[in-house]
Amino acid sequence: MSAFTRGGAAGAPPAIGGESPGRRALRQFMAHRLAMAGLVVVAIFVLAALLAPWLAPYDPLETSWSRLRQAPSWAHPFGTDENGRDVLSRVLWGARASLMAGVVAVGGAALMGVPLGLLAGLAGGWVDAVISRVADAMLSVPSLILAIALAAFLGPALENAMLAIAIAAAPVFARLARGMALEARSTDWFESARALGNPPWRNALLHVLPNIAPPLLVQATLAIAEAIIAEAALSFLGLGQQPPAPSWGSMLNSAQRFIESAPWLAIFPGLAIFVVVLAFNLVGDGLRDALDPRTKR
């Protein structure tokens, strides 16, 4: 697996008499029907989150004593909750918390993990030893338990939950970036870039990062799916989004108490998590198939 086969890299030779690796990856991804379906679903959820103020039929926080726990109807397609709030409106607004948490947490994890991983892989020696051991130590705690512990000590708030998920997910990105940096360091084009007298940070930024972008993109997509579940889990435990602000996890938590009398309270927020996570996983799998040169079609 030479670095030349990866798409759009600086220093990679121009594609001769054919499509570029990036274009080929795009074509393969577009031909991946399930991945495209996943992308459409993700787009729908992003739009729903952005347009929640206009799409939601009711105010997600407006309580009403006259319509407590009403079963789904035309007026309230997903029913109403224990405070008479419209569940559909809350699910739509909840998409904001979930998607934002997924994207921000994974972005944070990549911003922390990738530079450290590059540093470890390119510097080697004791720098590598320290960074790798810290990553090992963090990876020895299942990420959800690490996130719960971090969120517990940071205090319950959506921002703290996102930070906790980001920290817990960072070692995976560090390890990936380190592995790719080590691989890049052993290639001829990296050697020649160094021989030209480029400073190390420039090599990392211009030569290594573009080459490791495809696997990072795959990892990030799959990590968003995990981060959305983690945010829901933390909110379910009361460590994420604080009530009355809507979030799918906290909605599931309060739904548990009314599982006998109002099962719709548990069905719809969970379904939303499931569908959006499934969509991100489909996109991630599709990206992996399209970007991994080993699975040429």
Partner 1 sequence: MTGFLVRRVGQIIPTLLILSLLVFGLQQLMPGDPALILAGEERGDPQVLAQIRAELMLDRPLWEQYLHWLSRVVVGDFGFSWRIRLPVSELILEKLPVTFQLATMSFVIGVVIGVPCGVLSAVWKDRPADWAINAVALFGISTPNFWLGIMLILLFSVQLGWLPPSGYVPPWEDPWQSLATTIMPAFVLGTGVASVLMRHTRAAMLGALSQDYVRTARAKGLSERVVVAKHALRNALIPVVTLGTIEFGRLLAGAVLTEQIFTIPGFGKLIVDAVFNRDYPVVQGVVLATALIFVLLSLLADLLYAAVNPRLRAA
| DSSP letter, residue 20 | -
Min dist CB 136 to partner 1, Å, is 5
User: In 10 A of CB 135, how many CB atoms?
Assistant: 21
Q: Considering the rule CB under 8 A, would residue 142 count as an interface residue with partner 1?
A: yes
Q: Considering the rule CB under 8 A, would residue 225 count as an interface residue with partner 1?
A: yes
Q: Considering the rule CB under 8 A, would residue 73 count as an interface residue with partner 1?
A: no
Pick from 15, 191, 274, 295: which binds partner 1 (CB under 8 A)? 274
Token pair 């604080």: residue? 242
Q: How far apart are CA 50 and CA 95, in angstroms?
A: 9
Whichever of 20 and 256 has its CB closer to partner 1, that residue is 256
Q: Considering the rule CB under 8 A, would residue 133 count as an interface residue with partner 1?
A: yes
Q: Which stretch binds partner 1 (CB under 8 A): 16-24, 62-70, 112-120, 270-278?
A: 270-278
- How big is the site for partner 1, counted in residues (CB under 8 A)? 44
Q: How far apart are CA 134 and CA 249, in angstroms?
A: 30
Q: Which of 19, 4, 39 is nearest to 188 (CA)?
A: 4
Min dist CB 239 to partner 1, Å, is 7
Q: Which stretch binds partner 1 (CB under 8 A): 19-27, 57-65, 119-127, 140-148?
A: 140-148
For residues 87 to 126, the per-residue mask of contacts with partner 1, x marking binding by CB under 8 A and - elsewhere, is ----------------------------------------
Min dist CB 207 to partner 1, Å, is 31
Min dist CB 98 to partner 1, Å, is 11
Q: Which residues contact 144 (CB under 8 A, 6 or more apart)?
A: 168, 230, 233
For 54, counting Cβ atoms within 10 Å of its Cβ (0-12 exposed, 13-18 middle, 19+ buried), the class is: exposed
Question: Of residues 151-210, which lie at the interface with partner 1 (CB under 8 A)?
Answer: 151-155
For residues 226 to 245, the per-residue mask of contacts with partner 1, x marking binding by CB under 8 A and - elsewhere, is ---x--xx--xxxx------
Q: How far apart are CA 94 and CA 106, in angstroms?
A: 18
Min dist CB 174 to partner 1, Å, is 14
Under 8 Å between Cβ of 232 and 249: yes
For residues 248-280, b (16+ Cβ closer than 10 Å) or e, as one string?
Answer: bbbbbbbbeebeeebebbbbbbbebbeebbebb
Whichever of 9 and 282 has its CB closer to partner 1, that residue is 282
Under 8 Å between Cβ of 81 and 69: yes
Pick from 103, 138, 182, 205: which binds partner 1 (CB under 8 A)? 138
108's tokens: 């944070």
Under 8 Å between Cβ of 91 and 78: yes
Q: Please give the residue ranges that form the binding site for partner 1 (CB under 8 A).
A: 133-134, 136-138, 140-146, 148-155, 225, 229, 232-233, 236-239, 252, 255-256, 259-260, 263, 266-267, 270, 273-274, 277-278, 281-282, 285
